[in-house]
Amino acid sequence: GDSVTQMEGPVTLSEEAFLTINCTYTATGYPSLFWYVQYPGEGLQLLLKATKADDKGSNKGFEATYRKETTSFHLEKGSVQVSDSAVYFCALSGVGSSNTGKLIFGQGTTLQVKP
């Protein structure tokens, strides 16, 4: 079935380090891809999205490029801050004949940034 796989966490980085969180997907058709972030004790917030191949989503210094050939949507940030500590979820939507907006999530990756 359709699925999203993220790298295992937790990821621990020092402030100003470079961040990559890998995300790959399996889907029929051409899904839309999303990164959501969950700060402690809060709900999920959309971080960025891409709706077709080669699209790059970006927000708050984070970016990810929709790569159809490698079925990937890796999240990157050039210089992380302590305030980026959170759980990051990769997700897809719109696979096959489903146009319901239903999101299929990866397992989440916990990022901890130390000062």
Partner 1 sequence: DTAVSQTPKYLVTQMGNDKSIKCEQNLGHDTMYWYKQDSKKFLKIMFSYNNKELIINETVPNRFSPKSPDKAHLNLHINSLELGDSAVYFCASSPRQGRNTEAFFGQGTRLTVV
Q: Which residues of the chain form contacts with partner 1 (CB under 8 A)?
A: 31-32, 34, 36, 38, 41-46, 49, 51, 87, 89, 93-94, 99-105, 107-108, 110
| Complex with partner 1: residue 84 or 106, whichever CB lies closer | 106
Give Cα 41 distance to the centre of its chain. 19
- Rg for the chain, CA atoms, rounded: 14
Residue whose CB is less far from partner 1, 51 or 72: 51
Please state the closest distance from residue 24 (CB atom) to partner 1, in A: 17
Residue number with CB closer to partner 1 (40 or 115): 40
- Which has the closest alpha carbon to 99: 23, 30, 5? 30
What is the distance, to the nearest Å, from the Cα of residue 110 to the centroid of all Cα atoms in its chain?
A: 12
